[in-house]
Amino acid sequence: MTVVARVRDELAARGLLDRLPAAFLAGVTRFATPPAAELGALRADAEGLAARLAAGEAGDADLPLLTRVLFFAGHGGLLAAHGVRTPSYDLLGSYRDNLRTPVGPRLPERPRAGDRRWRVLGRDVAFPVGVPACVLNGGEEWVRYHARNGFSVLTYKTVRSRAHEPNAQPNWTFAPRPPGDAVVSDPWDWVAPGDPRVSTVNSFGVPSPAPEEWMADLERSLAAVDDDQLLLVSVMGSGDGTDLVDDFAATARLAEEAGATVVELNLSCPNTLSASADGVKPPLCLDAGATLAVVEGVRRALGDRTGLVAKISWLDEDRLAALVPGLAPLVDGVAAINTVAGRVVRGDGEPTFPGRAVAGLSGAAVRGQALDLTRRLVALREAGGHRFDVLAMGGVTDVASFEALWAAGADAVQSASGAFADPFLARDCVAALGDTLPRSVPR
């Protein structure tokens, strides 16, 4: 029996088949309404699929459409339960709803590269691929999910010293068109799971539970990863001047208290530098002086054995060269790049995220910038005789893009948009490169 036939039977048994087109269209129009012709085409596709399913005539060729229809109908989990690639995060659900559990597929067994290991931030890890700080590592269930699916360098989502609510939905959309002056992204856009061209835009506002909540969850998350896997914790402060330094340091201490062995500082999200006309503040890492004050303050606050990583955005040559010599002696690692901020509009010209003109682009569209920054970072490390590890990310959506950042000199490679769209990405990297990836630890 094909997977489409099995899923069909399950839909029928649950009484979901008749309502499928309506549920799909409700999802498609949840945040905005597509132009009439596009909406009509989507409706016709969904109704045609439902009719083929009802008649028992749907075949394997229907799987891509079925995946899209079930995802927007809120039933992505049903496909995932049959091992089908489907995005792990429900874009229609709230940040809180999603925290509970991923909706993506799970591998029956953790993929392993035999007994080979790679050294990352002082630990021997099973394979140097992971998921960076983002909603995909927002809590214990997500950390467990990625660890079991073979992502071995994980960063717990940025947390703060007090609860911070997410922006209004939508928060995250696909961005299938090449970026121009603005990125054009409609909330009903879709890129098929496993397509290496996937890009996304997001505007979450760096939400955080209160420390009481995230500290307990972090403790459980740290216990959920295996000995050959690493879980870092991303933290961020707010305020100005010494208040900012103190808040970063206090939050880093809370993470340490909860058991974190490596703390990552999110220096690359909108922060305290003065707001520009569109209301979005540039990331802290653009200001080398303010950045170093924060990193120094945190380094002083943490115990000697706690690792420290600085996460930065794409920086131009002058800014990166100004930052690295001061940063290098203070940190064990540098992570880059964060999303690339820019104007994001729907096809009708309205903001994709109402009230927020600017959002963060990531995935294939930022691959070139990630590669460029990684190469310069590695070159500056070598030229300066520095020893920090490089955690590279940006546009890793398949084995080739993983390999490109590795070949540029990264010590670990992480993927957010790629892992979201293809939860089996780590498995594919391990299968393709487990025996051959250079720079493993001699054993």
Interaction site with ligand FMN (CB under 6 A): 132-135, 157-158, 172, 200, 202, 204, 206, 234, 266, 269, 311, 338-339, 362-363, 366, 393-396, 415-418
Per-residue b or e along 155-176, where b marks 16 or more CB atoms closer than 10 Å to that residue's CB: bbbbbbbeebebbebbbbbbbb
Please name the residues in contact with 101: beta carbons below 8 A apart, sequence gap of 6 or more.
141, 142, 145
Contact 111, 430 (CB under 8 A): yes
Q: Three-state DSSP class for 302?
A: coil
Task: Work out how close the CB of 94 gets to ligand FMN at its nearest, in angstroms, rounded to a whole number.
Answer: 13
- Which residue lies nearer to ligand FMN by CB, 88 or 200? 200
- Cα 78 from chain centroid? 23
Task: Work out how close the CB of 188 gets to ligand FMN at its nearest, in angstroms, rounded to a whole number.
Answer: 18
- Which residue lies nearer to ligand FMN by CB, 49 or 344? 344
- Which residue lies nearer to ligand FMN by CB, 69 or 121? 121
- Which residue lies nearer to ligand FMN by CB, 105 or 138? 138
User: Half-sphere exposure of residue 150, counting CA atoms within 13 Å on the CB side?
Assistant: 23
Tell me phi and psi for residue 341, to 5 degrees: -75, 140
- Which residue lies nearer to ligand FMN by CB, 21 or 194? 194
Task: Work out how close the CB of 426 gets to ligand FMN at its nearest, in angstroms, rounded to a whole number.
Answer: 13
Please name the residues in contact with 206: beta carbons below 8 A apart, sequence gap of 6 or more.
158, 160, 164, 236, 266, 269, 270
Task: Work out how close the CB of 420 gets to ligand FMN at its nearest, in angstroms, rounded to a whole number.
Answer: 7
- Cα 143 from chain centroid? 12
Task: Work out how close the CB of 393 gets to ligand FMN at its nearest, in angstroms, rounded to a whole number.
Answer: 4
Please name the residues in contact with 433: beta carbons below 8 A apart, sequence gap of 6 or more.
113, 399, 402, 403
* Cα angle 424, 443, 262; round to 5: 60
Task: Work out how close the CB of 157 gets to ligand FMN at its nearest, in angstroms, rounded to a whole number.
Answer: 5
Task: Work out how close the CB of 49 gets to ligand FMN at its nearest, in angstroms, rounded to a whole number.
Answer: 29
Contact 356, 203 (CB under 8 A): yes
Task: Work out how close the CB of 361 gets to ligand FMN at its nearest, in angstroms, rounded to a whole number.
Answer: 8
Tokens of 292: 């170093």
- Which residue lies nearer to ligand FMN by CB, 256 or 398? 398
- The CA distances from residue 151 to 59, 143, 229, 372, in Å, are 32, 9, 8, 24
Tokens of 274: 């003065």
- Which residue lies nearer to ligand FMN by CB, 20 or 335? 335
Per DSSP bridges, beta strands 262-266 and 307-311 are: parallel
Please name the residue that has the structure tokens 């891509």: 64
- Which residue lies nearer to ligand FMN by CB, 27 or 395? 395
- Which residue lies nearer to ligand FMN by CB, 46 or 366? 366
Task: Work out how close the CB of 8 gets to ligand FMN at its nearest, in angstroms, rounded to a whole number.
Answer: 32
- Which residue lies nearer to ligand FMN by CB, 4 or 373? 373
Strand (E) or helix (H) holding 333: strand 333-336
Task: Work out how close the CB of 200 gets to ligand FMN at its nearest, in angstroms, rounded to a whole number.
Answer: 6
Task: Work out how close the CB of 309 gets to ligand FMN at its nearest, in angstroms, rounded to a whole number.
Answer: 10
Please name the residues in contact with 337: beta carbons below 8 A apart, sequence gap of 6 or more.
268, 312, 313, 314, 366, 369, 370, 373, 393, 394
| Cα–Cα distance for residue pair 332/261, rounded to 1 Å | 12
- Which residue lies nearer to ligand FMN by CB, 80 or 396? 396
